[in-house]
């Protein structure tokens, strides 16, 4: 009997069950660790199942492409995520929960709090989230005597200028936890972290008030789209 050829659609994709066990995301994670997996593979583990005719890794890749990568995925609303074919409410809640767990891990345990040794350390704590915000946010990184993070409160939301920002409000947070130093952080939704003259004036006021209250103002960072500027490194607002 002649061997029959099996024709497949050009768009055919093997399902996870058709992929060799050793190459499946869960098995690769168990064997090599999470760092060996691509972003799509890690997301695929969260999503758990694909859709008809498409395996879960391809679904994860499509989700990342449609939403502009991992940062765009974090920024997308539930309704925007559900607009992607194959992503329903259950998958959306898994994605949102994963991002929230990652955020909480940063400041969860007093014994494991991040220690700030450079402007980059401080920026990396907040870059992922703050670079996605549509409005300006001003936050404080409150530090102990060893520059370990105590809290990261949000002080202001909206257009920030010298008439809006009350310096006493900033230091109310610092004095409440008796912190040794603070780092001021705000974002530019435009994506350009270049300091404005207004940013420099605000920094000067904050630094001067810190001297009077014996709270060390270590830096003022401006977050853009995956970039940041340290005003202290540039000698702006710090004497």
State pLDDT tens for residues 37-95.
788 888 888 887 666 657 788 888 888 888 878 777 888 888 999 888 888 899 889 99
Say what the pLDDT of residue 10 is: 36
Q: Where in the chain is the domain with CATH 1.10.150?
A: 16-105
Fold of 16-105: DNA polymerase; domain 1 (1.10.150)
Contact 144, 150 (CB under 8 A): yes
In which band, very low, low, confident or very high, does the pLDDT at 8 lie, cut at 50, 70 and 90? very low
For 114-230, the fitting CATH number among 3.40.140.10, 1.10.10.10, 3.50.50.100, 3.40.50.300 is 3.40.140.10
Question: What residue ranges of the chain are covered by domains with CATH 3.40.140.10?
Answer: 114-230
Per residue in 92-112, is it b (16+ CB within 10 Å) or e — as a string?
A: beebbebeeeeeeebbeeeee
What SS3 state is found at 212? helix
- Which band of pLDDT confidence, cut at 50, 70 and 90, is reported for residue 111? low
Q: What is the pLDDT of residue 176?
A: 87
Q: Is the dihedral of CA 93, 75, 35, 151 positive or negative?
A: negative
pLDDT at 17: 54
- Residue 164: strand, helix, or coil: coil
pLDDT at 122 exceeding the cut of 90: yes
Q: How far apart are CA 71 and CA 46, in angstroms?
A: 16
**CA distances in angstroms from 26 to 31, 53, 168, listed in the order given:** 9, 20, 51
Q: CB 114: neighbour CB atoms within 10 A?
A: 17
Please report the sign of the dihedral spanned by the C-alpha atoms of residue 203, residue 158, residue 168, residue 143.
Answer: negative
Chain center to CA of 232: 23
Region 226-236 average pLDDT: 93
**Which of 74-83, 105-114, 145-154, 227-236 comes out lowest in average pLDDT?**
105-114
What's the pLDDT at 5?
A: 37
What pTM, to 2 d.p., does this model score?
0.57
């Amino acid at each position: 009997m002649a061997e029959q050829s099996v024709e497949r659609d050009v768009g055919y994709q093997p399902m996870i069950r058709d992929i060799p066990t050793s190459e499946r995301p869960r098995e690769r994670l168990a064997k090599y660790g999470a760092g060996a997996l691509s972003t799509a593979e890690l997301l695929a583990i969260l999503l758990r199942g694909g859709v008809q005719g498409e395996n879960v890794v391809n679904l994860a890749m499509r989700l990342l492409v449609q939403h502009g990568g991992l940062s765009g995925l974090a920024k997308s609303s539930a309704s925007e995520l559900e607009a992607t074919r194959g992503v329903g409410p259950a998958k959306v809640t898994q994605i949102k929960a994963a991002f929230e767990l990652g955020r909480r891990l940063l400041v969860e345990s007093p014994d494991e709090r991040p220690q700030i040794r450079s402007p980059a350390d401080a920026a990396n704590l907040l870059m992922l989230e703050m670079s996605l915000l549509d409005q300006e946010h001003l936050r404080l990184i409150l530090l102990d005597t060893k520059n370990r993070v105590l809290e990261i409160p949000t002080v202001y939301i909206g257009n920030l200028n010298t008439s809006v920002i009350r310096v006493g409000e900033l230091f109310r947070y610092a004095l409440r936890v008796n912190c040794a130093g603070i780092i001021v952080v705000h974002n530019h939704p435009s994506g350009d972290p270049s300091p404005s003259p207004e940013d420099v004036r605000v920094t000067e006021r904050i630094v001067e008030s810190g001297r009077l209250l014996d709270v060390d103002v270590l830096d003022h960072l401006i977050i853009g789209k995956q970039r940041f500027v340290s005003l202290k490194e540039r000698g702006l607002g710090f004497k």
